[in-house]
Amino acid sequence: MSELLTQSFRFADPRDLDDLRTFAMRAKTIDDGAIRLQGSGSVLAAYVCVLRPRLLGESTPTILGLRTMGLAETSTVDATVALSAVLDRLARSGADDVELPVPPATVTESWTGVGAPRTGWELIGPLPEAGLRRAAEAGITEVAGIVPSQPGALIVNNARAAVWGRALDDSGLPAGAAFAALTLGFLSDGEQLLYKAGRWFRLSGPRGHVLVRSGSGL
């Protein structure tokens, strides 16, 4: 039996398990791929990929969603697993459950090797969420207008790259950050704080974080 079969995350509150379920379900509507579950002390960091370059040399930014939850026990588990496998386990959990067994089968995703810095972030300033919402909704409409009724994967990828890779404002933040914040449920009616560290941007609010690496290449 693999060691991974015995690993699990025990949450401090059943509502944290519900938060993870909602986050994973939203992420699955964007990309039916993987989720990275990384325990760090008494905090679980859950990462999902919203956008990434799929061709060598492509200018598409890498955009990740991050949601953190409190754990009742310290953890050092770091596993990248299929979103569907996590959702399957969450679907079987009860209202008062606080434990998530880690799916035994891990997956390999290129974006998990692209780590955002933990320190060195410089605050650029606040961004009104109403503006982010408008930018995301306009981009969704634009992508839908570009993509034909029965598109191939390359056409969809090129359309998304063109729209979501476009700078949102003078800071250079890609518009895909607004799309990620809206689709993952991070927007409410307030402000998001924008930070930058090297090639990375971080859009942070009470409900989660959007991490963006600008530039080209896988």
| Per-position DSSP letters for 106-155, written without gaps between them | B---GGGG-PPPSS--EEEEEEEHHHHHHHHHHHHHHHHHHS-SS--HHH
- Phi first, then psi: give them for residue 157, nearest 5 degrees: -60, -45
- For 159-213, write each residue's pLDDT tens digit: 888 899 899 988 899 999 999 999 999 998 899 999 999 999 999 999 999 999 9
Cα angle 164, 48, 12 (rounded to 5 degrees) comes to 140
CA atoms within 13 A on the CB side of 22: 15
Q: What is the pTM of this model?
A: 0.90
User: 61 and 217 in contact (C-beta within 8 Å)?
Assistant: no
Domains and CATH numbers, the chain: 1-218 (3.10.150)
Of the ranges 48-52, 54-58, 176-180, which is most confident? Answer: 176-180
Q: Across the strands, what pairs with 34?
A: 82
